[in-house]
Structure 1
Amino acid sequence: MKISIAQLNPIIGDIENNAKKIREKAELAVKEGAKLLLTPELSLCGYPPRDLLLNQSFVDVMSEKLQQLALEIPSQIYVLVGTVTFNSLAHEQGKKNLYNSTALINNGKIYQIYHKRLLPTYDVFEEDRYFSAGNDVNFFILDGVKIGVTICEDLWNDEQFWGKKNYSINPIQDLVNEDIDLIVNLSASPYIVGKQKLREGLLKHIVNKYKIPIIYVNQVGGNDDLIFDGFSCGVNKQGEIIARCYPYQEDLIYLELEKNNKDLSSNYVQDLIDSEEKEIYQALVLGVKDYARKCGFTKAILGLSGGIDSALVATIAVSALGKDNVFGVLMPSPYSSDHSVIDAEKLVNNLGIKSEKISIQEGMKSFDFMLNPLFKNTEFGIAEENLQSRIRGTLLMAIANKFGYLLLSTGNKSEMAVGYCTLYGDMNGGLAVIADVPKTKVFNICKWINKDEEIIPNNILVKPPSAELKPNQKDEDSLPPYDILDDILERYITQHQSLNDIEKAGHNLETIKKVVKLVDRAEFKRKQAPPGLKITDRAFGTGWKMPIAYRLGITN
């Protein structure tokens, strides 16, 4: 029996076109002789639909479209479609009135509907806000093959693999108890660095444990701050990856399930990405491309300072949108070094993008004049420094508004963490491209970009980072060196280590206290930042739920 994986990039809420895409993939699969087509979790509406699910008409339209799609699908093929269904017993049970479901459709009929059993509530996931958990063991029989159906998290509760049990039930074990021949997992699993190796490690572990092959189908594409990398795959009874889709793009591949030995075979195996830098870069390119496309933008604008962060964002934008659709603005001040302007101009030439140079000196003088009655007899300080950033931010927003460009902000995760950024200035924008990329990793990615030719001017890679808001300013004047800062941030933010544990790792306690205090004080800024593309398992986005007004006293 031939089985097809449709790795899809839906637009959230665009039920009509998402259904059209499923139908088109089914028609292609039929031409190749496929009997079953698999689509990702919530493929009909896109994942995550979030509070769109609170609109009953949205769910009603999905139900109607599912019925119509069943009529339109070629009769030769069965299709598993991710959808949302109503829980008719919700009020009796005191539960949510929706299920995260998958429907088996064929020849005008909806044969069966299967409900997701494990609902994640960690990081970016809030599924118990919308859904009830399914209770049934989900499977069907097709051409004498017993196929178990799981939806994303249903796969992720193997106590032996994790060393702990996260849920009271294990849907995989329940399927094994039903003598299943094949397990399919329909997912919308967001990207984080190195996650595919973890996924495949889990898949291989489950196959080796139960001797049942698995087909894993993942969504692909960017949806707001989340990036879905795809990498759908199949694992045979020997625990071997025998099929793998292309990452970061839609794909349609085929596997054979031998009816005699109930095992999978295929020759569609794409390689894993060979470096972390390349993996992150491609993910960010997809994130920018889809954010622009799905929000209706064709062109992007950003400020070019001659620094490494804006250089990386500009390079990503060109890869995502094309050089003719990226506009860079150089905005030197009296404190900008000559080499910063030269470096920015060289980057513009290397990328082949359009640019404009607008000096902010006259704007600075105008603000000095207007504020002089209040600011006279005071020393130049943070307020004046931030004004420069806000003048630049205003210019960028004005150009973006005038011409309908998407403004990309260029701050990195290290800066966002400690508040080394200016509200209504360099934080302005519709998308924060590298807000989850630490400064040290920014350097590594830029060096990877330059591995074959100099795209980012070498001087940008070697000069000390500086905001250039006052004479001879360097980031290290007010921050620890970035290798130290990033390690402290990783331990405090991601690993949730105590100050004592971070000190035991070799860091100075006073430096740790300073960094932690900066992180905690900057929460109000992060709440007002544009969405930032997520590449780590602890990003300042939808999964970050910290209060602004709080006091722990841990740095006293």
Structure 2
Amino acid sequence: MATALRTVLAQLNIRVGDIDGNLQRILDSSVQAAHEHGADLIVFPELSLCGYNAQDLLLRQSMQIRIERALDRLCTALPHKLHALIGYPWHEDGIRYNCCAHFHQGKIQAVYRKQHLPTDPTAFAQRYFTRGNEPLFIEINDIKIAVSIGIDVLQPEFIKQACAANARMIVSLNASTFHRQKQVEREQILSDNARQAEMPILYTSQVGAQDDLIFDGGSCAMDAQGNLRQRAPAFKEDLSLVELQFTRSDCYIERSVIIPLLSDEARIYQALVMSLRNYAEDNGFKGVLLGLSGGIDSALVLAIAVDALGADKVQAVMMPYHYTSQASKDDAAEQAKILGVDYKTIEITPMVEAFIQALDPIFADMPASANDTTEQNLQARCRGNLLMALSNKNGYLVLTTSNKSEIAIGYSTLYGDMVGGFAPIKDVPKSFVYRLARYRNSLKAVIPKRVIARAPSAELAPDQKDTDSLPPYDILDEVLRLYVEEDMSALAIVAKGFDKEMVMDVLRLVDINEFKRRQTAVGPRISKRSFGSDRRYPITNLWTRGD
């Protein structure tokens, strides 16, 4: 006779530091799981009480007090018949653990301490936590279940523990950070481990965004043969019911709902929209504003902003100068009209000329370098000042529109186009910006075709084009990917067929512009290696680039 086990994977948008709010989300989800889904078990994300990644909030003494209070509340308020696995930090005897509690019948039945701590620099896990050294197995409806947190379930040692204990199923609590290929990689490892263990693996993951980190959700279930039998939607909260039937020798997942994977462009676009929405709303901004230049980067950021927050909370500002083309003015005005945002034009010519006039007597006695960009930078800095003044006045968050290619090589102006509190496309290479723009227009045309078709230009000098000083972006972006994301040396990149002089020039630009990147706004991480917490290079850097 088969034994049934109904498990809900609670894919929630957990907020860092919002212990009371997270507690209420857990309670509401548990009531829904018990009453609407008839669940035996509900599994929440890793560290779901305090949020992930709480960083040095974990070091505060008051954190433990609040966690203890939340655990007491869970004991009294969770549905008594429901089994619940809930993640939280725990501090005792000077040691802090990443824990999961098994709640049932009004009390904590058992506690699991995460055994494997990731070395991923976005997590800083070993700064805050000590490894546990004991597995945890719980029994529900006479089914023995192995409990894991985070990367535990990916480790051969953990799989061996589960098999040695004759467990029938593995459940895993996660707050897995997103990058472009993460879901495919995640499911492949889970499939391999489920097949090796010969038991199902149920994987709950967080959804939402925290500073530069994105959590894509995609909670899933693998059967004992390693087949995907359940996948929750990406970038949305979800209570996913997994119905299992256990016989004496086998296990079947009865309910199979597999949400299809999004395309690469759709996945990245939705990640950027969610990240901006969470950042603006969670930090209490009334709205956002940006400089709309008529170029591709600001056009894409404007579309993301409207999709994230609504047109009524977005302001776009065109700030033309002598070199701003009529096409740029027309395209910016057209896009603002299509999207229905508040649109303003402010001429910067008087401001720039006032600066130049004030500086002329001093500059007259100073030699100009061959690549002097002083006057160009003044244009960008006047625009930056105007945006920040508007932000101060209306409380809107300024969005920086620089892409990853520009940030990598320093093709942006400190205190100019780099001003702002959030950079939505900070980790998006220029060549992919075009792909995202085309994708957004495939849903509804909101970016003028000419913006996508025109050659990219900062329009800071007569007839200026990006390719005047840079390789074509498809070539530049691949060199940058190999150097920044794959950590390949100059010689290894050249060996792939790239021009040596060009490679050395690009790598030099990356290295000497670290000081600029330290001053950039936070932006969502979509690659395996962004210019954020997961890439740390010295500003003063005398490293030889050939090796």
- TM-score scaled to structure 1, two decimals? 0.94
Q: 1:175 aligns with which of 156, 162, 173?
A: 162
For 1:241, give the aligned amino acid: L
The DSSP-based 3-state class of the residue aligned with 1:507 is: coil
2:311 aligned partner:
323
- How many angstroms apart in 2 are the aligned matches of 1:394 and 1:212? 60
Q: 1:14 aligns with which of 15, 18, 29?
A: 18
1:352 aligned partner:
340
| 1:332 equivalenced with 2:320 (yes/no) | yes
The DSSP-based 3-state class of the residue aligned with 2:442 is: coil
1:188 aligned partner:
175
For 2:331, give the aligned amino acid: D
The DSSP-based 3-state class of the residue aligned with 1:450 is: helix
- How many angstroms apart in 2 are the aligned matches of 1:324 and 1:384? 35
2:129 aligned partner:
131
Q: What is the 5 A alignment of 1:299-448?
A: 299-376=287-364, 381-448=372-439
Q: In the alignment, is the contact (CA less than 8 A) between 1:123 and 1:537 conserved in 2?
A: no
For 1:540, give the aligned amino acid: F
- How many angstroms apart in 2 are the aligned matches of 1:425 and 1:102? 47
2:143 aligned partner:
145
| 1:284 equivalenced with 2:265 (yes/no) | no
Shift of 1:351: 1.5
For 2:12, give the aligned amino acid: L
Q: In the alignment, is the contact (CA less than 8 A) between 1:208 and 1:239 conserved in 2?
A: yes
The DSSP-based 3-state class of the residue aligned with 1:306 is: coil
Shift of 1:324: 1.3
Shift of 1:143: 1.7
Q: 2:495 aligns with which of 498, 504, 512?
A: 504
> Deviation string for 1:185-232 (max 9, x for gaps)?
110001100211111111111112221001000000010000100000
1:164 aligned partner:
none
Q: 2:255 aligns with which of 266, 271, 279?
A: 266
Shift of 1:369: 2.1
| 1:29 equivalenced with 2:33 (yes/no) | yes
2:208 aligned partner:
221
- How many angstroms apart in 2 are the aligned matches of 1:474 and 1:350? 27
- How many angstroms apart in 2 are the aligned matches of 1:403 and 1:555? 50
| 1:2 equivalenced with 2:21 (yes/no) | no
Shift of 1:555: 5.7
- How many angstroms apart in 1 are the aligned matches of 2:259 and 2:490? 43
> Deviation string for 1:3-56 (max 9, x for gaps)?
111101011000001000000001011112111110000001110000101101
For 1:38, give the aligned amino acid: V
For 2:241, give the aligned amino acid: Y
Q: In the alignment, is the contact (CA less than 8 A) between 2:177 and 2:215 conserved in 1?
A: yes
| 1:468 equivalenced with 2:459 (yes/no) | yes
- How many angstroms apart in 1 are the aligned matches of 2:320 and 2:334? 15
Paired residues in the alignment total 537
2:227 aligned partner:
240
> Deviation string for 1:132-178 (max 9, x for gaps)?
001001211122010101111112234xxxxxxxxxxx212211111
- How many angstroms apart in 2 are the aligned matches of 1:143 and 1:492? 53
> Deviation string for 1:236-258 (max 9, x for gaps)?
12322222111101101211121
The DSSP-based 3-state class of the residue aligned with 1:5 is: strand
| 1:81 equivalenced with 2:117 (yes/no) | no
Tell me, which stretches of 5 or more residues in structure 2 are unaligned? none
1:94 aligned partner:
none
CA RMSD of the aligned region, Å?
Answer: 1.4
Shift of 1:473: 1.0
> Deviation string for 1:454-508 (max 9, x for gaps)?
3211111111111111111111111111111111101111111121111111111
- How many angstroms apart in 2 are the aligned matches of 1:84 and 1:513? 46
The DSSP-based 3-state class of the residue aligned with 2:532 is: coil
- How many angstroms apart in 1 are the aligned matches of 2:271 and 2:407? 20
Q: In the alignment, is the contact (CA less than 8 A) between 2:159 and 2:197 conserved in 1?
A: no
- How many angstroms apart in 1 are the aligned matches of 2:443 and 2:53? 38
1:99 aligned partner:
97
- How many angstroms apart in 2 are the aligned matches of 1:554 and 1:212? 49
- How many angstroms apart in 2 are the aligned matches of 1:530 and 1:445? 21
1:72 aligned partner:
77
Shift of 1:453: 4.3
| 1:489 equivalenced with 2:480 (yes/no) | yes
> Deviation string for 1:499-519 (max 9, x for gaps)?
111111111100001000000
- How many angstroms apart in 2 are the aligned matches of 1:236 and 1:122? 28
- How many angstroms apart in 2 are the aligned matches of 1:55 and 1:408? 32
- How many angstroms apart in 2 are the aligned matches of 1:395 and 1:375? 25
The DSSP-based 3-state class of the residue aligned with 1:400 is: helix
- How many angstroms apart in 2 are the aligned matches of 1:120 and 1:87? 21
Q: In the alignment, is the contact (CA less than 8 A) between 1:87 and 1:132 conserved in 2?
A: no
- How many angstroms apart in 2 are the aligned matches of 1:308 and 1:511? 25
- How many angstroms apart in 2 are the aligned matches of 1:194 and 1:492? 19
Q: In the alignment, is the contact (CA less than 8 A) between 1:236 and 1:265 conserved in 2?
A: no
The DSSP-based 3-state class of the residue aligned with 1:112 is: strand
| 1:63 equivalenced with 2:54 (yes/no) | no
1:162 aligned partner:
none
For 2:254, give the aligned amino acid: S
- How many angstroms apart in 1 are the aligned matches of 2:540 and 2:304? 36
Q: In the alignment, is the contact (CA less than 8 A) between 2:148 and 2:172 conserved in 1?
A: yes
The sequence identity of aligned pairs, in percent, is 41
For 1:404, give the aligned amino acid: G
